[in-house]
Amino acid sequence: MSRFTRSAAIITLSASAPASLPAMAADELHYNQISLRAEVSQEVARDKMIVTLYTESQNSDPAKLAAEITTAMNKALDQARAVKDVTLRQGSRNSYPIYDDKNQKITGWRERAELRLESADFPALSQLTGELLNTLKMDSMDFAIADATRKSSEDALLKDAVAAFKARAQLATDALGGKGYKIVNLNFNTNGYPQPFARGGAMMMKAQAMDSAPTPQVEAGTSQVSMSADGVIEVLQ
């Protein structure tokens, strides 16, 4: 019985010795490895303007109410389609009942429909908005970074982030007295590209000439966007 136990112990030790070799090799791969981070940023203009307009009304007859809302929206759509470089999107349209004071009997219906306008041509969209405000109301005016601008910004930031990471890697290598370095892994992350920046419509109305519609006065501003480069280098001795 005791002889069998000793034999089993010897076999176990013999089998475990080769298994430790990959672990030792893995430890050697991390020799002189350093984690580094570099970050770059830039100001990017919000070059897309987004205006949300709506019409809202109520009527005791839901069919007449729906026809009234549809007529108002169709007129606005026809007017907006005539303006070049403005993208139209119909937003939500909702209808709900109005109850009496006791909240038991339906006395009428209220309906609301939205129209969303987008453009990089701020003057054209501002003028159109002012004209449409003769029949519609403004829900919000937003600003965002256009897709093409975002891609161009990200491409430029990527180059800058790589250069910044390489400079930091060389600085760390020199500090450690290394002959050079190699990049083990490198990851990029972007931050700061905003969702549309909403502004209340009433705050940006500026009266023009007596016979003209009021036109929103806009200032889109910029957003600071950044890209970080996180990676690991191995310093060569």
Q: Does any domain span residue 18?
A: no
CATH of the domain at 165: 3.30.110
Task: With beta carbons less than 8 A apart as the criterion, state whether 119 and 84 touch.
Answer: no
pLDDT of residue 26: 52
Query: Which pLDDT value is given to residue 17?
Result: 43
Question: What is residue 194's predicted lDDT score, i.e. its pLDDT?
Answer: 66
Burial 9-26 (b: 16+ CB within 10 A, else e): eeeeeeeeeeeeeeeeee
Cα torsion 57, 62, 63, 66 to 10°: value is 30
pLDDT at 101: 86
Among 81, 114, 144, give the residue marking a domain's end: 144
Give how many domains the chain has, as a whole number.
Answer: 2
Choose among 212, 195, 46: nearest CA to 129: 212
**What span, in angstroms and rounded, lies between the C-alpha atoms of 83 and 230?**
46
For residue 39, give its domain range.
27-47+146-194+221-237
Rounded Cα–Cα distance for residues 48 and 145 (Å): 6
Residue among 115, 119, 114 nearest 144 (CA): 119
Closest CA to 50 of 149, 125, 150: 125
Are 113 and 35 within one domain? no
pLDDT values of the chain reduced to their tens digit, one per residue, 237 residues: 444 333 333 333 333 444 455 555 555 556 789 999 999 999 999 999 999 999 999 999 999 999 999 999 999 999 999 999 999 999 999 999 999 888 889 999 999 999 999 999 999 999 999 999 999 999 999 999 999 999 999 999 999 999 999 999 999 999 999 999 999 999 999 987 766 555 554 434 443 333 445 555 667 788 899 999 999 999 998
Residue 215 lies in a domain: no
Q: Which of 84, 111, 144 is the last residue of a domain?
A: 144
Residue 179 and residue 67 share a domain: no
- Number of alpha carbons in the 13 Å side-chain half-sphere of residue 233: 24
Q: How far separated are the first and last CA of the chain, in Å rounded?
A: 55
**Nearest CA-CA partner of 222 in 123, 149, 152:** 149
Specify the pLDDT at position 193.
Answer: 77
